[in-house]
């Protein structure tokens, strides 16, 4: 009985990995929604940080 060759196992494993489907390519609308949500959230966080910095500067100028 021949031993299992390592190259055959590696080749079969790589073929299984390579056969994965691309979910993002099949669902472009979902990716667009994720991107829009990310941009909105980053904008809101940036606005909050900007307001906090402006308030801190205003407090410093009062003293």
Indicate the average pLDDT of the chain: 85
45 against 23, higher pLDDT = 45
Report pTM: 0.60
- Please, which pLDDT band fits residue 1 given cuts at 50, 70 and 90? very low
State the residue range of the domain holding 50: 24-63
In a domain, 60, yes or no: yes
- Residue 6 pLDDT exceeds 70: no
Domain count, the chain: 1
Confidence (pLDDT) at 10: 74
Flag whether 57 is in a domain.
yes
Nearest-angstrom CA–CA distance, 50 and 42? 12
Q: Is 17 a member of any domain?
A: no
- Is residue 31 assigned to a domain? yes
The reply to whether 4 falls in a domain is no
- Answer yes or no: is 3 within a domain: no
Res 5: pLDDT: 65
CA 12, CA 47: separation in Å to the nearest integer?
51
């Amino acid at each position: 009985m021949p031993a299992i060759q390592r190259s055959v196992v590696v080749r079969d494993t790589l073929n299984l990995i390579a056969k994965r489907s691309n979910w993002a390519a099949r669902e472009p609308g979902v990716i667009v929604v994720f991107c829009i949500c990310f941009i909105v959230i980053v904008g809101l966080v940036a606005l909050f940080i900007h307001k906090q910095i402006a308030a801190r500067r205003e407090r410093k100028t009062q003293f």
